[in-house]
């Protein structure tokens, strides 16, 4: 009897768990697809990104205040998918670019070398948090944050896809 | 009447008959279409990010055929409707209705979209679900509430025409008429529907001086509001900017808090896509009423009132429409009546009269494809 009551309690707890509730409310979970010139195309959920090492980047927002964004260095994600980052980023691979797409159709590009720490110390992350909290729905769940870039236009919100491509 | 006169009269009649037959043969045969690659002409500031599939290069003969098909009523189940039924040139290829009615008289679920500068479009339909015109064209042709006929049936109907068989041979190398080829030819024609001769285009080419109202409207259209700096704006160019006044974007523009039509969410299942639709081209916008995916606004004034004062909050509302105001701490744009008037003056600058009267886009001679 006790066992059954416990199971029932656990079941109710699971039902009203805010995380479960949130998932239910949000319908299908958003993902980021990494594809193109990679050896292993991958599709990442928010939880998958937590498996990567996390990096903080400070940036002023439109409101003029500094915010701390937390996320994964874009190059780490590309490396995981098998893009030619690091020691492989030489010769013709320097003619590659990374096309980032948002759910509203907005697109921006980086040269692949712009993301590689062998070329630059500037941090470009795929952020999932702002000041320790999840990004607002209109910005997230995934947003690129480019450290020190003067215009915010490449800090693309609601990222859905990252494609590595050769310039033709 | 002497024998000689009878003979002359007879030969005259024969001559007349011959002439009549010749003329009728001439009018019932298509003018031999030109052949070879079709050269698109558009201003440099439109950019070259055009979308033509490798397997369907645009040719003059393909465009010729596509135009006949665009106006071909045999492609509908009741032989009364063509693509042009809902895409009428004088209305910038719309039909002036909130929802169109097809062969079964059931209204479509969304507003007929304007066709202009599709050469640059990569996602078609209000929800962007088609990646090419070829893919798009098959839908209205076969949808029961639109033209309502299978592509196989359409191909079969056209196959009885020598003219069509000849044109398919010229375009695709043999006279096999298929549904896929019908869509390919229509797409070729649609890619030629380039609108680049509005007053706004001429202004960008330094050939037209806008009126004071047009210029003020243009500035409001282009600017974001910044009340702290006393800069007024309507923020339109965030989504409608560029020389083409078309950016391929998809937004929830605050029509409803709980939309009846879920838009892209119906495809992706993502709540962030709820009420999200294609941001349509503003080319010829003064000619394409009523407005929005459901044609709810009859006038541009109604559209301006919406963006200025009636944007509805919801979790998927576009971030460009949230808390943008011309008043410090304002929640809505709050444009003044004269500002709305000036923006509409600018929107009228986007009307391209040459486009909507271009004989190359008009219905071809009805006899030509029989």
DSSP-assigned states of every residue in B108-146:
PSSPPPP-S-GGG-SSBSTT--BSSHHHHHHHHHH-TTT
Quick one: pLDDT at residue B31?
64
B212 to chain A, closest Cα gap in Å: 31
* Predicted confidence (pLDDT) per residue in A143-155, tens digit: 999 999 999 999 9
Q: Which of B272, B276, B318 sits opposite A30 (nearest CB)?
A: B272
Angle at alpha carbon of residue B270, lines to A38 and B264, rounded to 5°: 95
State the average pLDDT for chain B.
Answer: 91
A36 to chain B, closest Cα gap in Å: 18
Question: A130: which residues sit within 8 A by CB, 6+ positions away?
Answer: A67, A68, A69, A70, A136, A139
Q: Which of A25, A27, A138 sits opposite B269 (nearest CB)?
A: A27
Any B CB within 8 A of A158 CB: yes
Q: Taking Cα atoms as reference points, which of B162, B191, B174, B184 lies closest to residue B69?
A: B184
B261 to chain A, closest Cα gap in Å: 17
Angle at alpha carbon of residue B333, lines to B329 and B336, rounded to 5°: 115
* DSSP character string of B69-110: HHT-GGGSTTS---GGGTSBGGGTSB-SSSS-B-TT-PBPSS
Are A104 and B322 a contacting pair at CB < 8 A? no
User: What is the percent of chain B with per-residue pLDDT over 70, rounded to a whole number?
Assistant: 90
Q: Which of A25, A105, A138 sits opposite B319 (nearest CB)?
A: A138
Q: Which of B123, B265, B272 sits opposite A105 (nearest CB)?
A: B123
Which residues from chain B sit within 8 angstroms of residue A104, using beta carbons?
249-251, 276, 318
Are B251 and A104 a contacting pair at CB < 8 A? yes
The pLDDT profile of chain B, 370 residues, written as one tens digit per residue, is 444 554 445 555 544 444 444 443 333 344 678 999 999 999 999 999 999 999 999 999 999 999 999 999 999 999 999 999 999 999 999 999 999 999 999 999 999 999 999 999 999 999 999 999 999 999 999 999 999 999 999 999 999 999 999 999 999 999 999 999 999 999 999 999 999 999 999 999 999 999 999 999 999 999 999 999 999 999 999 999 999 999 999 999 999 999 999 999 999 999 999 999 999 999 999 999 999 999 999 999 999 999 999 999 999 999 889 889 999 999 999 999 999 999 999 999 999 999 999 999 999 975 444 4
Q: Taking Cα atoms as reference points, which of B135, B187, B177, B132 lies closest to residue B154?
A: B177
Which of B252, B268, B272 best probes binding to A when mutated, by most A CB atoms within 10 angstroms? B272
> Is residue B117 left, alpha or beta, with left meaning phi > 0 and alpha meaning psi from -120 to 50?
left
What b-and-e string marks burial along A46-57, b requiring 16 or more CB atoms within 10 Å of the CB?
beebeebeebeb
The 8-class DSSP code of residue B310 comes to I
Burial (CB < 10 A; 0-12, 13-18, 19+), residue B146, is buried
| 0.85 surpassed by complex ipTM | no
Question: B76: which residues sit within 8 A by CB, 6+ positions away?
Answer: B82, B85, B102, B103, B147, B148, B149
Residue B187 to residue B137: CA distance in whole angstroms: 7
Both tokens of B259, joined, read 């939309």
Q: Taking Cα atoms as reference points, which of B21, B8, B42, B14 lies closest to residue B194?
A: B42
Q: Are B272 and B337 in contact (CB under 8 A)?
A: no
Which residues from chain B sit within 8 angstroms of residue A30, using beta carbons?
270, 272
Q: Which of A30, A138, A157 sits opposite B270 (nearest CB)?
A: A30
Which residues from chain B sit within 8 angstroms of residue A137, using beta carbons?
271-272, 315-316
Residue of chain A with shortest Cα separation from B253: A104
Q: Are B106 and B143 in contact (CB under 8 A)?
A: no
Residue B101 to residue B108: CA distance in whole angstroms: 6
* Predicted confidence (pLDDT) per residue in A4-50, tens digit: 555 554 444 444 444 444 444 457 899 999 999 999 999 999 999 99
Q: Taking Cα atoms as reference points, which of B355, B308, B73, B83 lies closest to residue B202?
A: B355
Are A104 and B270 a contacting pair at CB < 8 A? no
Are B272 and A137 a contacting pair at CB < 8 A? yes
């Amino acid at each position: 009897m006790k066992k059954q009551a416990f199971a029932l309690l656990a079941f109710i707890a699971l039902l009203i768990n805010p995380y479960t509730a949130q998932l239910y409310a949000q319908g299908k979970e958003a993902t980021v697809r990494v594809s193109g010139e990679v050896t292993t195309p991958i599709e990442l959920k928010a939880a998958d990104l937590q498996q990567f090492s996390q990096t903080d980047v400070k940036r002023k927002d439109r409101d003029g205040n500094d915010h701390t964004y937390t996320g994964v260095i874009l190059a780490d994600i590309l490396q995981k998918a098998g893009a030619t980052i690091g020691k492989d980023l030489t010769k013709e691979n320097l003619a590659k670019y990374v096309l980032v797409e948002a759910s509203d159709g907005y697109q921006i590009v980086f040269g692949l070398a712009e993301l590689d720490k062998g070329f630059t110390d500037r941090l470009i992350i795929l952020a999932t948090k702002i000041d320790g909290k999840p990004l607002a729905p209109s910005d997230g769940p995934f947003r690129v944050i480019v450290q020190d870039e003067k215009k915010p236009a490449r800090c693309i919100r609601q990222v859905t896809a990252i494609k590595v491509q050769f310039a033709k | 009447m002497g024998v000689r006169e009878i003979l002359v009269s007879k030969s005259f009649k024969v001559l007349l008959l011959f002439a009549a037959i010749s003329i009728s043969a001439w009018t019932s045969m298509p003018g031999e279409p030109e052949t070879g690659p079709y050269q698109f002409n558009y201003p440099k500031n439109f950019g070259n990010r055009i979308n033509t599939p490798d397997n369907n290069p645009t040719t003059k003969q393909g465009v010729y055929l596509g135009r006949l098909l665009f106006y071909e009523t045999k492609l509908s189940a009741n032989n009364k409707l063509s693509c042009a039924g809902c895409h009428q040139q004088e209305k910038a290829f719309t039909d002036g209705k909130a929802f169109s009615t097809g062969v079964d008289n059931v209204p479509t679920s969304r507003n007929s979209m304007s066709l202009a500068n599709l050469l640059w479009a990569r996602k078609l339909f209000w929800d962007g679900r088609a990646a090419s015109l070829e893919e798009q064209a098959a839908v209205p042709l076969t949808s029961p509430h639109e033209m309502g006929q299978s592509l196989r049936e359409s191909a079969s109907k056209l196959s009885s025409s020598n003219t069509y068989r000849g044109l398919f041979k010229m375009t695709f190398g043999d006279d096999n008429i298929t549904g896929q080829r019908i869509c390919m030819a229509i797409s070729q024609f649609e890619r030629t529907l380039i609108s680049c001769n509005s007053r706004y285009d001429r202004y960008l080419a330094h050939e037209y001086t806008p009126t004071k109202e047009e210029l003020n409207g243009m500035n409001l259209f282009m600017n974001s509001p910044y009340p702290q700096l006393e800069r007024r704006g309507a923020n339109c160019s965030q989504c409608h900017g560029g020389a083409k006044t078309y950016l391929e974007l998809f937004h929830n523009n605050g029509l409803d808090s709980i939309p009846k039509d879920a838009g892209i969410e119906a495809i992706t299942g993502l709540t962030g896509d709820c009420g999200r639709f294609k941001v349509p081209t503003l080319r010829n916008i003064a000619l394409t009423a009523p407005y929005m995916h459901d044609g709810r606004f009859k006038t541009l004034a109604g559209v301006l009132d919406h963006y200025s004062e009636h944007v509805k909050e919801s979790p998927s509302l576009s971030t460009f429409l949230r808390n943008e105001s011309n008043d410090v701490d304002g929640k809505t744009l709050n444009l003044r009546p004269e500002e709305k008037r000036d923006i509409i003056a600018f929107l009228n600058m986007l009307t391209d009269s040459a486009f909507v009267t271009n004989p190359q886009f008009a219905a071809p001679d009805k006899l030509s494809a029989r």
